[in-house]
Structure 1
Amino acid sequence: GCFVEGEWLRNAFRWKASVGPWEERPGHFGDVWMYWTDDGLGYFEFLQLAEDLGALPIWVFNNGTVHEALDGIEFARGDASSTWGAVRAAMGHPEPFDLKYVAIGNEDCGKKNYRGNYLKFYDAIKRTYPDIKIITNCDGSSLSLDHPTDLYDFHVYTSANNLFSMSHKFDHTTRQGPKAFVSEYAVTGKDAGTGSLLAALAEAAFLIGLEKNSDVVHMASYAPLFVNSNDRRWNPDAIVFNSFQVYGTPSYWVQRFFTESSGATLLNATLQKDSSNSLVASAITWKNSEDGQTYIRIKVVNFGNNSVNLQISVDGLDPNSVKLSGSTKTTLTSANLMDENSFKEPKKVAPNQTLLEDAQEMTALLRPHSFTSFDLLKESVSLRITEDDSSLVSSV
């Protein structure tokens, strides 16, 4: 986000200078992160990357010139006969890109001219592209916004303990009005190292909270996603690469646990008040597109120093309704909280999957400082989880 604005307007990212033949792009100095970029990864390449990944792009632009933003949307979505659509077509993509979300500025709420500029952008975009969802920089999770928007941006970079405690952040947010886009979150500082297990566990607990509040949290994205190990400008990051190697940090593996949450059915799951405050849990049902099976997924973060004996029973199942070969337990943990992955040990901290011997009635040991996911083939109408004298009850 800060990259597109620059510390000074003269160093803002100019999307028009980042399209067309690569060798003709002038490049610019990114004065926020203090490096020169040739803009080889420009606006077109960003849109193409999203398409190649099967993802929807979210374009964050400088809230300086309305016409520049409208031209940028035309470049992405316009017919090949339009002025900027023709430029896109000449670059090899005659069909429009699927641009449905834009963010007006980045972390600008409260600045002198933001609200006035925002309203100009909002009105112009909605008038021309009424289907596009607009994201404001102002946080609407605690206070009502004084301007129209489809989504509001929420950023948090903090310690592991703070982020773990924020698993309930959106529990009491109003269910009316615009939805939240948690577009930047991560554990940073000494707790993070260059991508630690400790950071990943706190992020997992926070994500469970977002998942349980998915009626108000529309989208979420870890930040940053990529880092070149030869030129770090931020720490930590989810995926580390150089010219010939790549690995995922523990935070990357946490993201993998939640890939099925999109489109899943959330079960009404709550831990009793007298349960350990080091546990955060949720339950969903989801359909695996690879095997066509429907699962109950129970995710539990044990943020504490002690092991926990977890008793799980699934009610409403007859003896033949669970295929044990398809029910699994997956755990992310390591010997040390600050353990990290590296090019030398790319999977030092990575998920370990085992088969469940009995998916209807079982006792599982949650290791200290661990994230565990249970996938049970779903044929039931309710499930019950108990931890000592506490319980988690879910139903669909």
Structure 2
Amino acid sequence: MVFAQSAERTLTKGKKISPDLFGLFFEDINYSADGGLYAELVQNRSFEYSPTDRRDWNPFSFWEYITPDFSYGSITVETNSPIHPNNPHYIVLTAEHVGDAGVGVKNSGFDGIVVKAGESYSISMFVRQLSADPISLAISLQTPKGKVLAESKFSTSSKDWKKYSATLKPIESTDSASLVVLATTRGKLALDVVSLFPEKTFKNRPNGLRADLAQLLADMKPRFIRFPGGCLVHGDGLGNMYRWKNTIGPIEQRIEQKNIWGYHQSLGLGYFEYFQFCEDIGAKPLPVLPAAVSCQNSGGTWRIGGTGQKALPKEEMQDYIQEVLDLIEWANGPATSTWGAKRAAAGHPAPFNLQYIGIGNEDKITSEFEERFKIIYTAVKAKHPEITVIGTSGPFPDGEDFEKGWRFANALNVPVVDEHYYKEPSWLMSNLDRYDKYDRTHAEIYLGEYASWGNKLKNAIAEAAYMTGLERNGDIVRMASYAPLLAKRNHTQWKTDMIFFDNNLVCLTPNYHVQKIFSLNQGDVYFDKIVNLDSNDTTAAASCVQDNETGDIILKLVNAGKESQAMKVNLKGFKRIVSKAHLTLLAGDPEAENTLEKPEVIVPTTSNFQASKSFSYHAPAMSLTVIRMKTK
């Protein structure tokens, strides 16, 4: 592959590297989507929770039937006449005696609903009147003690399913509100898809994203976003594979399903929302589709027993291949095409300019996987040679699946192969030269998931050192993304993550700061031997890149040792260096880590730096330093 470059202002000895090197990987793990990045405030809004999610869950989970002021009635969950077959469950509420308040239901969201005084919240629900006369409804936000913070009233007007919407503006702030829906006159009605969104979503998108979390990702300026998973993609058995067509269209028509990580996916954050977010922040979309096999850990194989990997029957493969091809048409086809028209109907007539598609996710490299991957890959390559397909080499950086995966990918001439590994900091520091040794005549690498098993500064600095090796090998390492991205307090299934959060607070780990620093300081040309390091020192690493768009020279200097280190910099090969430079430093106690209560124990600092063609920099112990210098 040849990267498109402008050769201006670069040295002849510079090496062109990937312009898409550092990006993000989003997986719906740790309540990253529902209750997290997806801004919906009602939990189980469509009454689709079930024991297949968790054994003690059912369609009425996280709802409370309420009969204040001596009112009474009844409530049932029914399926005989839903809004849409994809959304089968709804509740039927009968108000027999409404008293002074009414009969209804209450939802406290995901660990409470956070509302802010004076801000607007959009409430919507589908209602079907089942009794002869209209029924009056009161919708309110209330405190745990029943104080009404905001209220809207309306009457039913249809015996068919009809969507009702209103705006609520609370009079005071709270982090523990509930949404209350009360029938205030006698009657019977059906209720479904009860939804509450802050008006201030990211870029004010309807059905949008939580603004603060989304902005933190936008601030990183990632070159790409891989979604929607991980193991979530190939799922817990064939019936749980993530099928993109189930995630587009009106939310009441999407097919909800269990999450392999032990909870539920409303799929309100679906493919349209993922692609739209990528476009909003200038990142390339990288959707990952199952390779027509389920996760080898299906049924609990990672614990005891389980079913292991299962493969789609051969007679279903043609339909599945078409599903993959339809995604490309949905993303890139004209608004007049079958699937492009569906994208246009959702509000995006222009193509999304999809370039990459991942097929498979750290799958066990079995004959069933190989057969199905080859069929899919061949079909995509034949119809869409402009699409770069990314293969997989299993879940580890070595071993049987890794070796088989690479042999198989190279035999097929797959252009990019996805590697995954989670390791201790010492492994990263011992493998800084991993990609120096890779054969440049075969596939490029996407390091799709990696981390150093911890969120202390020492973990982040080891990752920074490793990332200098990714830059040095940016001619063959096309992309890299830390994982996992998000983790919610009290709902975390993975012990190392980039951003921790709850309904109010956000904690940016040292790992986040390292990833952001590298992402904001990407280059497209790499220069070797600019920083002189002691070859016997295993705690130091450095890289030098140039951003051709700005002409800036960017040094990244890493000291993972216990003492300050002098690093000699030689920039004499560059025609001009502006002396006034910009320095970013991340340093501190190697055992320090940020928490939701103390989120700024480790944060980067910025300062001016006096640069020259040759200088010595004393890198503090346990630190990452970036020096950015202009050349014009």
Matched, 1:286 2:547: yes
Amino acid at match of 1:301: V
The answer as to whether partners of 1:142 and 1:173 remain within 8 angstroms in 2 is: no
Partner residue in 2 for 1:20 = 249
Of 141, 160, 167 in structure 1, the residue corresponding to residue 432 of structure 2 is 167
Q: For the residues of structure 2 that align with 1:91 and 1:358, how far apart are their CA atoms?
A: 51
Q: For the residues of structure 2 that align with 1:322 and 1:214, how far apart are their CA atoms?
A: 24
Amino acid at match of 1:23: E
Of 258, 268, 285 in structure 2, the residue corresponding to residue 29 of structure 1 is 258
Partner residue in 2 for 1:352 = 605
Amino acid at match of 1:340: E
Q: For the residues of structure 2 that align with 1:367 and 1:276, how far apart are their CA atoms?
A: 15
Report how far residue 263 of structure 1 moved.
4.2
The answer as to whether partners of 1:109 and 1:137 remain within 8 angstroms in 2 is: no
Partner residue in 2 for 1:44 = 272
Superposition map of 1:97-136 within 5 A: 97-136=352-391
Partner residue in 1 for 2:349 = 94
What SS does the corresponding residue of 2:437 show, helix, strand or coil? coil
| Count of residue correspondences | 365
Partner residue in 2 for 1:337 = 590
What SS does the corresponding residue of 2:380 show, helix, strand or coil? helix
Superposition map of 1:260-339 within 5 A: 260=520, 262-269=522-529, 271=532, 274-286=535-547, 292=550, 294-312=551-569, 314-315=571-572, 322-324=577-579, 326-334=580-588, 336-339=589-592
What SS does the corresponding residue of 1:122 show, helix, strand or coil? helix
Amino acid at match of 1:38: S
250-259 or 358-367: which moved more? 358-367
Q: Which protein is bigger by CA-based radius of gyration?
A: 2
Cα distance change of structure 1 residues 311 and 108 upon mapping to structure 2, 3 Å threshold: closer
Q: For the residues of structure 1 that align with 2:291 and 2:574, how far apart are their CA atoms?
A: 56
Partner residue in 1 for 2:339 = 84
Partner residue in 2 for 1:154 = 419
Cα distance change of structure 1 residues 359 and 275 upon mapping to structure 2, 3 Å threshold: farther
The answer as to whether partners of 2:611 and 2:629 remain within 8 angstroms in 1 is: no
Amino acid at match of 1:162: W
Report how far residue 261 of structure 1 moved.
5.2
Partner residue in 2 for 1:70 = 325
106-115 or 118-127: which moved more? 106-115
Q: For the residues of structure 1 that align with 2:534 and 2:624, how far apart are their CA atoms?
A: 21
Q: For the residues of structure 1 that align with 2:246 and 2:568, how far apart are their CA atoms?
A: 59
Partner residue in 1 for 2:4 = none
Amino acid at match of 2:516: R
Taking only aligned residues, the RMSD between alpha carbons, in angstroms, comes to: 2.4
Report how far residue 165 of structure 1 moved.
1.7
Q: For the residues of structure 2 that align with 1:264 and 1:347, how far apart are their CA atoms?
A: 32
Partner residue in 2 for 1:394 = none
Matched, 1:236 2:493: no
Report how far residue 311 of structure 1 moved.
4.0
Q: For the residues of structure 1 that align with 2:616 and 2:385, how far apart are their CA atoms?
A: 53
Matched, 1:58 2:292: no
Of 256, 276, 291 in structure 1, the residue corresponding to residue 516 of structure 2 is 256
Partner residue in 2 for 1:218 = 478
Partner residue in 2 for 1:199 = 459
The answer as to whether partners of 2:521 and 2:554 remain within 8 angstroms in 1 is: no
307-316 or 98-107: which moved more? 307-316
Amino acid at match of 1:11: N
Q: For the residues of structure 1 that align with 2:573 and 2:323, how far apart are their CA atoms?
A: 58
Q: For the residues of structure 2 that align with 1:317 and 1:93, how far apart are their CA atoms?
A: 45
Cα distance change of structure 1 residues 261 and 180 upon mapping to structure 2, 3 Å threshold: farther
Partner residue in 1 for 2:627 = 374
Q: For the residues of structure 2 that align with 1:351 and 1:221, how far apart are their CA atoms?
A: 20
Amino acid at match of 1:353: T
Amino acid at match of 2:479: M
Amino acid at match of 1:166: N
126-135 or 241-250: which moved more? 241-250
What SS does the corresponding residue of 1:113 show, helix, strand or coil? helix
Identity of aligned residues (%): 33
Report how far residue 42 of structure 1 moved.
0.9
Q: For the residues of structure 1 that align with 2:573 and 2:291, how far apart are their CA atoms?
A: 55
Q: Per chain length, whose mean CA-contact separation is higher, i.e. which structure has more relative contact order (CA < 8 Å, sep 6+)?
A: 2
The answer as to whether partners of 1:331 and 1:372 remain within 8 angstroms in 2 is: yes
Cα distance change of structure 1 residues 313 and 62 upon mapping to structure 2, 3 Å threshold: closer
Deviations 1:321-352 (A, max 9, x none): 6544x313321111x21212233333321111
What SS does the corresponding residue of 1:29 show, helix, strand or coil? strand
The answer as to whether partners of 1:359 and 1:376 remain within 8 angstroms in 2 is: no
Of 172, 179, 182 in structure 1, the residue corresponding to residue 447 of structure 2 is 182
229-238 or 59-68: which moved more? 229-238
Cα distance change of structure 1 residues 252 and 174 upon mapping to structure 2, 3 Å threshold: same
Report how far residue 25 of structure 1 moved.
2.1
Larger fraction in helix: 1
What SS does the corresponding residue of 1:44 show, helix, strand or coil? helix
Report how far residue 66 of structure 1 moved.
1.5
134-143 or 100-109: which moved more? 134-143
Cα distance change of structure 1 residues 68 and 306 upon mapping to structure 2, 3 Å threshold: same
Q: For the residues of structure 2 that align with 1:213 and 1:305, how far apart are their CA atoms?
A: 27
Taking structure 1 as the reference length, the TM-score comes to 0.85
What SS does the corresponding residue of 1:282 show, helix, strand or coil? strand
Superposition map of 1:138-153 within 5 A: 138=393, 145-153=410-418
The answer as to whether partners of 2:464 and 2:624 remain within 8 angstroms in 1 is: yes
Q: For the residues of structure 2 that align with 1:274 and 1:374, how far apart are their CA atoms?
A: 22
Q: For the residues of structure 1 that align with 2:533 and 2:586, how far apart are their CA atoms?
A: 24
Q: For the residues of structure 2 that align with 1:33 and 1:225, how far apart are their CA atoms?
A: 15
Deviations 1:263-299 (A, max 9, x none): 4321112756644221111112235x6xx5x332221
Report how far residue 303 of structure 1 moved.
1.2
Cα distance change of structure 1 residues 107 and 342 upon mapping to structure 2, 3 Å threshold: same
Cα distance change of structure 1 residues 272 and 35 upon mapping to structure 2, 3 Å threshold: same
Report how far residue 317 of structure 1 moved.
8.2
Structure 1: gaps of 5 or more residues: 380-396
Amino acid at match of 1:54: G
The answer as to whether partners of 1:327 and 1:359 remain within 8 angstroms in 2 is: no
